[in-house]
Amino acid sequence: MVTRLGFLASGEGTNFQAIIDHLKLGILSGCKAEVLISNVKGAGVVKRGEKEGIRVEVIPYETREVFERKVNSILEEEEVDLLLLAGFNRILSKEFVEHWKGKCLNIHPSLLPSFGGLGYYGLRVHEEVLNSRCLVSGCTVHYVTEDVDMGPILTQAALKTFDSDPRTLQRKINLLEHLTYPKAIQMHVDGLVSIEEIRNREEVSEWENVWEERQEEYLEKRRDEWERVWGEKLEVVLCKYVIR
């Protein structure tokens, strides 16, 4: 059975692109991108979706009730099994979240529960991390619940914050997100995690070893970008500064 993916996005769409790239390379398996919905006409993610040839729908945000009704109609029409929030800039209603309970994921640019919740988005997250003198930051993929950024965690990845300003840290974590979101999707698709439980640690560790080997192809294709942002060889970055 193929898991049908739907996306809700508002911005540039780099996480959307990373997921699509993992699908095209065959790293992310057992699922298929069906539809991208955005509330922002002309957003970068819309252009990416059109280029990739998947269904793209732009729904102006009039009221939350009207918007969510239209979104649900499209998702049901495409028989979407898993909804992915990828830089979506609106808070979803309790009713919408309950409807998609256990079938909706989000990624956040910090190690939740720290630096999460209402008001923590964009550059502010990284400013607060550095102002708090945290030595480590990262990203978290979690199931979406009524409590913003507080749903059950699927997986996290971390990096050392040394010698970073907020914008540099943001770029570094964005690259880390591109590895972490596809991993979380595969964990869900493979039944390794659900909103109720995560399999035993030993089983997850074995799965992660296989996943990292599969993901090497994607990393190699992004080598230049990683080395430009970090200023060091990819192998050095992964060995010294990144915890996946």
> pLDDT tier at 244 (50, 70, 90 boundaries)?
confident
The closest of 204, 202, 179 to 194, measured between CA atoms, is 204
Helix (H) or strand (E) holding 167: helix 166-189
pLDDT at 203 over 90: no
> Would you list the DSSP string of 81-92?
SEEEESS--SPP
The closest of 186, 180, 155, 142 to 30, measured between CA atoms, is 186
Q: In the structure encoding, which two tokens stand for residue 61, read together?
A: 């945000």
**Phi (first) and psi of residue 184, to 5 degrees:** -65, -40
pLDDT at 223 over 80: yes
pLDDT at 9 over 80: yes
Starting from the edge strand earliest in sequence, which strands make up the sheet with 3-9, in order? Answer: 55-58, 31-38, 3-9, 82-85, 104-108, 136-143, 153-160, 242-243
In this prediction, residues 141-166 reach a mean pLDDT of 94
In this prediction, residues 47-60 reach a mean pLDDT of 97
In the set 108, 142, 178, 188, the catalytic residue is 108
> Per the confidence metrics, is the pTM higher than 0.85?
yes
Is domain 1-100 annotated with CATH 3.30.450.30?
A: no
pLDDT at 174 over 80: yes
Q: What is the pLDDT of residue 163?
A: 77
> pLDDT tier at 18 (50, 70, 90 boundaries)?
very high
pLDDT at 58 over 80: yes
Mean pLDDT, the chain, rounded, equals 95
Q: In the structure encoding, which two tokens stand for residue 174, read together?
A: 């964005």
> pLDDT tier at 48 (50, 70, 90 boundaries)?
very high
Task: Give residue-wise pLDDT tens across range 89-104.
Answer: 999 999 999 999 999 9
* CB neighbour class for 173 (10 Å; exposed up to 12, middle 13-18, buried from 19): buried
In this prediction, residues 201-211 reach a mean pLDDT of 87
Task: Specify whether 178 is catalytic.
Answer: no
In this prediction, residues 196-204 reach a mean pLDDT of 77
Interatomic CA distance for residues 4 and 19, integer angstroms: 13
> pLDDT tier at 204 (50, 70, 90 boundaries)?
confident
Domain ranges of the chain: 1-100, 108-244
In this prediction, residues 26-47 reach a mean pLDDT of 97
